[in-house]
Structure 1
Amino acid sequence: MSDALSVPAVSLDGLLHRAATRRPGRVAVRDENGTHTYAALNAYADRFARALRRRTGGAGAAVGVASVLDAVFAAGFYGTSRSGNRVVMVNPLMRATVLAHVFRTADIEIALVDAGTAGRLAEVRDGLPALREVYVVDAVPGDLPAGARPLAELFGDDGPDTGPVAEPVGRDLDEVACVQFTSGTTGPPKGVQLTHRNLVTNAAQVASVLRLDESAVCLNHLPLYHLMHLNATVYAGGTQVLCHDPDPVASFAMASAERATHYFGLPVRLARLVADPRFAGVTAGPPLRLVASGGSALAPEVAGALRGRLGVPVIQGYGLAELSPLSHNDLPEHPRPGSVGPAVPGTECRIVDLETGEDVTAGEKGEVLVRGPQLMAGYLGLPDAPDVDADGWLHTGDVGYEDADGRLFLVDRIKDVFKVDNELVSPSEIEDVLRRDPEVADCVVVDQADASRSAVVWAGVVTRSEDPDVLVAVAARANAQLADHQRIRGIERLDAVPRSPNGKVERRPIRERLRGSVAL
């Protein structure tokens, strides 16, 4: 177990109040639309709290808040909690059918969403009887989706009470403050219930491992607002700079202009940056302390190129929605390529054999189990959390190993690992070999049914050239580096590898397409 951490006994929205009390004039959030100090952001959250209390009585209603990369999300998120209601995170990239599942499962009554999400909600609203009001946070006058209202109507004239909003009386820090839905890659998304204590604890853990303090200026080059970055930076009293330009070169120019100390980005965008001809001219300014990546694996060669160009540590972490979300993070002072680092303070990790469930020794692969104070309170609407055992260990479904120093290296998902001739095959290991080929721009590996071996390795490859013979050459070069059971028996050219919004490879659509076809 990593060392314990002192965590303040405050509620989720108390994080913002605490920062506003300590540093009211400090910039909390800035983007091209304006700047919010902590005092201003806290007052904005109070406006949301007052308005939501008027509509719900603060009786624990579910309020859906879209995680748009905007200060309005931060204010709506903390304001909903301050009102005594429960925040339900709404991913603005969800399809209409998934939105319907999330809204029905959580019984969302009021939605604070962007125009695109409001439009998709309109398609399924007849099947959402609990949903009473939809407010559009980026409303354009005269161009609202059916049944939606502009955000200004939520606030009205605010009435006579415009002072600070008091915390709900008798609040239990172990009650559910937020529901975040899983990505749903293997089935319908599940509602992860996170308590005030879960989220505040993880904010303290993240701030500790990323070395966030009041001097931190965090450049968020992310498609959505992430709870981890929001809560940890507010806990530390630092500044968040939101970068909406998807161009990674532009994001580092912004980091330099804003004198960022921390840069948060996605592996897929960082890989695109390293491959960009403009990369040789990228700088970030002397205040930059580290580049942090998360959401999926960051290739060691990408991290190395960034470290060489910028002269700062390039690290990655690991976690799940069930863990609020972070459980591991590499050490800025001593990063280890390919590792997601040791467990964060107060957190335990075990690696167990996939078949026996017994602990394995350092260097051996097995399932990653995690236990800690940031572990969820369970899944919404499900009486049991089958992924959590009787001793409080979360069975993550990820395969990995720890080195002698307790640093975690992830290998694959259990559901992605398969057997060929009774030998375990990790798709990610084969993808790593393929990506080192100069002809491969991107790739994905899955299992394909085989009459004699039960399954064989199939690879989908995005090539850099249109040469019809390049696939055969790529497979031959890869196979020369692989064991017999790992060798590629089927290969196909792809226009693009299917990925989730945060860059994770989605293998299920390919498996479904290949189902029924048998390798020769």
Structure 2
Amino acid sequence: MNIFSALERSKNRYPDKEAIVFGSDSITYAQLYEQAYRLSSALKEIANLHKGERVALFLPNRPEFVISYYAVVGLGAIAVSLNVMLKRDEVKFILNDSEAKILVTSSRLLDQVPDVNETPSLKKILCIDAAERAGVIGINGLLPLAAASGPAAEVAQDEGAAILYTSGTTGKPKGALLSHGNLRSNVAATVLHTQMSSSDRLICYLPLFHCFGQNFIMNASVNCGATLVLHERFQPDEILDSLKSNRVSVFFGVPPVYLRLLAAPNIEQHFGQVRYCFTAAAPMPVTVARQWREQVGQIIYEGYGLTETSPFASYNHDVRYREGSVGTPIENVEMKVVDPEGHALPPDEQGEIAIKGPNVMLGYFRRPEETAEVIRDGWFLTGDIGKVDSDGYFYLVDRAKDMINLSGFKVWPREVEEVLLQHPSLSEVGVVGIADPASGEAVKAFVVLKQGQSLSEQEVIDYARVRMAVYKAPRFVEFIDALPRNPAGKVLKRELRARAKEPRNGASSLKVA
């Protein structure tokens, strides 16, 4: 079944209900369906778009993203989402890699869009507002002439619906091809575990070009006829005002968001009507989760998954909540911890997390060799190191590629980060390994101070040394204004490692013998 059918169902059940709230504007389900179908008809007419062909969406968090997404999948075509922070050459790479036939964008992003002659597959560029560039077509002129309703394209569950490019935390991005079945199975699990219904109002400032925002929030909201309160970006004051004025009942955030909100005065007053708080995309520090529970009076439920798993594979459930865990596998999904040979490990032993189920991607778009490296016998190898306890609860340790090898000792950056985050003066910590002639690698911590706090490098190191094995404590410390993160909130460790190689000006980094 086409994922577009969820929009059609909600339109039939709740035609006059708000589907999207965006600032002072709102769109009902009847209006969302009509605009999506009109655009779908227009895409087919102007570019002879067929099932399986790709349409790139280079759009910020606006109602037009939702409209365009459903217009594309309704035709049986594949929606390719682009990060709005990408530069021209990066946009060109994805357009060429995905062989997109159409690009939908906004006027403010046109400077980042390459010319059609640089992208052989691209036939049309559509703009959601005023088209100020030659050859660009304004969408508004197309919609009134297009058909307003009709059946969605028939698709098999294993046919592609979306391509989402991996964050590229370790190199060039790859397009994860997700099927209609992948998305629908994950939405069903989301609705079940969050107990989402048509009465809910979900806030979404997380980027819709990312799988968390796109499938877990947007598609789940449409699936149950809920209301999506949409924001272009995270601005703390704006979001807190929106929680109250828009009567938001379900809140989603990555760990840095919760940390920033904890600094807001009377934060608990803004969350009075919120019934469910959820986090994912990066591990939630236990100290932050505890502080939130004490200050706001709510549990932050944590999930685990990746773009390649649509995105979620496990949830820390309401009735079985376990602190520090990412929960147990969702319905019809299997998870295990394996050794380098792929053999399952017993409880509490660390290894790579592997996932199998209807949420696992079809593969990386037109990259069979790279797909074969990560999907073996139906099991997706995540590259994440973790463990499972005797009750089946999974715990994240770190990314396998981030492990620091210090004279044969394994040091997991997350363990060091968790210890340092307990310091009352630190708000963010990123730990990486750097080359060291004596031990192979050494531990370096990049730290961000809370506002109004001061601390020396030596104090940071001493704090760690009395709380963990000395070899795990950082030998180098550098204070920075903010950690580099991708749109999902994950710390870009490769950027920290690159920064660590740069010549330092001044004494902001300290080596301890």
Question: TM-score, normalised on structure 2?
Answer: 0.91
How far apart, CA to CA, are the structure 1 residues paired with 2:454 and 2:181? 57
- Farther off after superposition, 363-372 or 93-102: 93-102
Q: Secondary structure at the match of 2:372?
A: coil
Residues 71, 174 of structure 1: alpha-carbon distance in 2 compared, 3 angstrom cutoff: same
- 1:377 offset after TM fit, Å? 0.9
Alignment partner of 1:227 is 2:214: yes
Partner residue of 1:18 out of 9, 29, 47: 9
Residues 218, 39 of structure 1: alpha-carbon distance in 2 compared, 3 angstrom cutoff: same
How far apart, CA to CA, are the structure 1 residues paired with 2:451 and 2:205? 30
- Farther off after superposition, 332-341 or 396-405: 332-341
Which sections of structure 1, spanning at least 5 residues, go unmatched? 1-9
Matched with 2:92 is: 100
How far apart, CA to CA, are the structure 2 residues paired with 1:329 and 1:251? 25
Alignment partner of 1:150 is 2:134: no
Residues 90-132 of structure 1, C-alpha deviations (whole Å, 9 max, x = no match): 221222222111100111121111334322014x654212222
Q: Secondary structure at the match of 2:164?
A: strand
Matched with 2:33 is: 42
- Does the CA-based 8 Å contact 1:319-1:325 persist in structure 2? yes
Residues 183, 38 of structure 1: alpha-carbon distance in 2 compared, 3 angstrom cutoff: same
- 1:413 offset after TM fit, Å? 0.6
Matched with 1:492 is: 478
Residues 418-443 of structure 1, C-alpha deviations (whole Å, 9 max, x = no match): 21121211111101111211232322
- 1:512 offset after TM fit, Å? 2.6
How far apart, CA to CA, are the structure 1 residues paired with 2:20 and 2:267? 30
How far apart, CA to CA, are the structure 2 residues paired with 1:280 and 1:216? 21
Alignment partner of 1:186 is 2:174: no
- Output the amino acid matched with 2:62: D
Matched with 1:207 is: 191
Matched with 1:110 is: 102
- 1:257 offset after TM fit, Å? 2.4
Residues 263, 281 of structure 1: alpha-carbon distance in 2 compared, 3 angstrom cutoff: closer
How far apart, CA to CA, are the structure 1 residues paired with 2:420 and 2:492? 17
- Farther off after superposition, 64-73 or 75-84: 64-73
Which sections of structure 2, spanning at least 5 residues, go unmatched? 504-509
Residues 309-368 of structure 1, C-alpha deviations (whole Å, 9 max, x = no match): 333332121111111111112113343222221111110000112x44322222222111
Residues 495, 265 of structure 1: alpha-carbon distance in 2 compared, 3 angstrom cutoff: closer
Matched with 2:315 is: 329
- Does the CA-based 8 Å contact 1:421-1:485 persist in structure 2? no
- Does the CA-based 8 Å contact 2:47-2:123 persist in structure 1? no
Partner residue of 2:333 out of 338, 342, 347: 347
Alignment map for 1:231-270 (pairs within 5 Å):
231-244=219-232, 246-270=234-258
Residues 382, 216 of structure 1: alpha-carbon distance in 2 compared, 3 angstrom cutoff: same
Alignment partner of 1:90 is 2:82: yes
Q: Secondary structure at the match of 1:381?
A: coil
Matched with 1:79 is: 71
- 1:469 offset after TM fit, Å? 7.0
How far apart, CA to CA, are the structure 1 residues paired with 2:312 and 2:451? 39
Residues 263, 356 of structure 1: alpha-carbon distance in 2 compared, 3 angstrom cutoff: same
Residues 273-313 of structure 1, C-alpha deviations (whole Å, 9 max, x = no match): 1123x145632233x21111222122222222323333333
Matched with 2:363 is: 378
Matched with 1:425 is: 411
Matched with 2:270 is: 283
- Output the amino acid matched with 1:165: G
- Farther off after superposition, 196-205 or 253-262: 253-262
- 1:389 offset after TM fit, Å? 3.7
Alignment map for 1:409-488 (pairs within 5 Å):
409-464=395-450, 470-488=456-474
- Does the CA-based 8 Å contact 1:20-1:42 persist in structure 2? yes
- 1:510 offset after TM fit, Å? 2.5
Residues 222-242 of structure 1, C-alpha deviations (whole Å, 9 max, x = no match): 244621211112222211111
- Does the CA-based 8 Å contact 2:388-2:395 persist in structure 1? yes
How far apart, CA to CA, are the structure 1 residues paired with 2:152 and 2:328? 36
Residues 293, 390 of structure 1: alpha-carbon distance in 2 compared, 3 angstrom cutoff: closer
Residues 442-500 of structure 1, C-alpha deviations (whole Å, 9 max, x = no match): 22111121222111111122235899971111111111112133121122222332222
- 1:516 offset after TM fit, Å? 9.1
- Does the CA-based 8 Å contact 1:249-1:273 persist in structure 2? no
- Does the CA-based 8 Å contact 1:352-1:359 persist in structure 2? yes
Partner residue of 1:164 out of 141, 145, 149: 149
How far apart, CA to CA, are the structure 1 residues paired with 2:417 and 2:111? 38
Matched with 1:65 is: 57
How far apart, CA to CA, are the structure 2 residues paired with 1:59 and 1:280? 49
- Does the CA-based 8 Å contact 1:253-1:282 persist in structure 2? no
- 1:369 offset after TM fit, Å? 0.4
How far apart, CA to CA, are the structure 2 residues paired with 1:513 and 1:78? 41
- 1:393 offset after TM fit, Å? 0.3
- Does the CA-based 8 Å contact 1:173-1:195 persist in structure 2? yes
Q: Secondary structure at the match of 1:359?
A: coil
Residues 268, 468 of structure 1: alpha-carbon distance in 2 compared, 3 angstrom cutoff: closer
- Does the CA-based 8 Å contact 2:62-2:232 persist in structure 1? no
Q: Secondary structure at the match of 2:354?
A: strand
Matched with 2:18 is: 27
- Output the amino acid matched with 1:131: L
- Output the amino acid matched with 1:282: Q
- Farther off after superposition, 126-135 or 313-322: 126-135
Give the number of aligned pairs: 500
Matched with 2:347 is: 362
Q: Secondary structure at the match of 2:261?
A: helix
Partner residue of 1:133 out of 114, 118, 124: 124
How far apart, CA to CA, are the structure 2 residues paired with 1:390 and 1:515? 36
- 1:248 offset after TM fit, Å? 2.6
Alignment map for 1:385-424 (pairs within 5 Å):
385-424=371-410
Residues 186-245 of structure 1, C-alpha deviations (whole Å, 9 max, x = no match): 111111111111111111111111111222211223244621211112222211111346
How far apart, CA to CA, are the structure 1 residues paired with 2:133 and 2:391? 54
- Output the amino acid matched with 1:206: T
Q: Secondary structure at the match of 2:97?
A: helix
Matched with 1:195 is: 179
Question: TM-score, normalised on structure 1?
Answer: 0.90
Q: Secondary structure at the match of 1:386?
A: helix
- Output the amino acid matched with 2:34: A
Point out 4+ residue stretches in structure 1 off by more than 6 angstroms.
465-469, 516-520
How far apart, CA to CA, are the structure 2 residues paired with 1:233 and 1:194? 19
- Does the CA-based 8 Å contact 1:290-1:332 persist in structure 2? no
